[in-house]
Amino acid sequence: MTRIDDKFAELKAAGKKAFVTYVMAGDPNYAESLEIVKGLPDAGVDIIELGLPFTDPMADGVTIQLAGQRALAAGMSLQRTLDLATEFRKGDDTTPIVLMGYYNPIYSRGVAKFLVDAKAAGIDGMIVVDLPPEEDVELCIPAQAAGMNFIRLATPTTDDKRLPKVLQNTSGFVYYVSVNGTTGAAEAEVGDVGPEVARIKSQTDLPVIVGFGINTPEKAENIARTADGCVVGSAIVAQIGAGKSVADVLSFVAGLAEGAHRG
């Protein structure tokens, strides 16, 4: 059992949906990013997705691309991202952290060293968007052997033939991408999401969390109602990019959390 498994068990017992947030590590700088991440649980966040800055974020739209650029310009790296998680863990040993990013920085560090360091930093799971199931031996299987969840994305184009392959080594939860395209490219539509979530849940006992295109408390509520919870990323990152204070960012997150938890 990981912190992610424990969190979903806790939420299920309470009859609540999960609210998951994404922020880019080191955006706009290390100190403010750490302050934001530390404040997320009190703002109602159940699981934190921590973006790993990378120079070629192919799955991300402009908002998160710019966040990565700001973080890299401020000196963020894989090591500094793990340092941030380590600092967070000094005050919070229960909120799950999912590292979300791309394989190149992990590969460059070396998978074995990365897994040891990530585990020590308190990372509970990973979403590595450019490693398909055919490459599970690279990172997915070693990560699970090290006691971390490997979370896979399913999309509107993941058909019934492909879905079992996507699910076969997935753990923690399934992340359903609600729209075609990159992050922040379009808004999620409840009518489209519901049948897809049901289709995925017919093939797995894992929680299904919906992300991409959720940007208001009302949208969070409606989407969470159709699934086991929702993820908000670009809308929060946009607040940081606009230069909002930490307090204002966390207030925005709290509104979204209230919506998701009504779902």
Q: What angle do CA 228, 164, 124 make, to 5 degrees?
A: 50
* Catalytic option among 5, 27, 46, 49: 49
**Residues 77-92, buried b or exposed e (16+ Cβ, 10 A)?**
bbebbbbbbeebbeee
Name the amino acid, one letter, at 47: I
Does the annotation mark 135 as catalytic? Answer: no
Catalytic site includes residue 160: no
CB atoms within 10 A of CB 116: 12
Cα 215 to its chain centre, rounded Å, is 15
**Pick the catalytic residue: 27, 60, 124, 228?**
60
DSSP secondary structure letters along 52-102: ---S--TT--HHHHHHHHHHHHTT--HHHHHHHHHHHHTT-SSS-EEEEE-
Which residues are the active-site residues? 49, 60
